[in-house]
Amino acid sequence: MEKRSFSIAGHRTSIALEPDFWRGLEAMASSRDLSLAGLVREIDESRDTTNLSSAVRLAVLAWYRDGGATAPE
């Protein structure tokens, strides 16, 4: 697990994800021309779960599932 901190909606928050999810999140942000913080903010604002790390994982999985990118080999 790797932990990173972001400022979202005026407060600091940390997210712990596995390296593969960080790579997926970075690819997702790059494809949408967003910073990681910007993408995490969007995920935070639209999540249905109380856990931000889980919401990020689900967003990355959905992005790959829906054809946002090819899965890493």
The contacts found for 24-29 with CB under 8 angstroms, 24 or more apart, are 24/60, 24/63, 24/64, 24/69, 24/72, 25/56, 25/59, 25/60, 27/68, 27/69, 28/59, 28/60, 28/63, 28/68, 28/69
Q: Per-residue pLDDT tens for 8-66?
A: 888 899 999 999 999 999 999 999 999 999 999 999 999 998 899 999 999 999 999 99
Residue type for position 65: R
- Residue 68's pLDDT is what? 76
- Residue 39's pLDDT is what? 96
Q: Select from 70, 39, 31, 73 the least CA-distant residue to 56.
A: 39
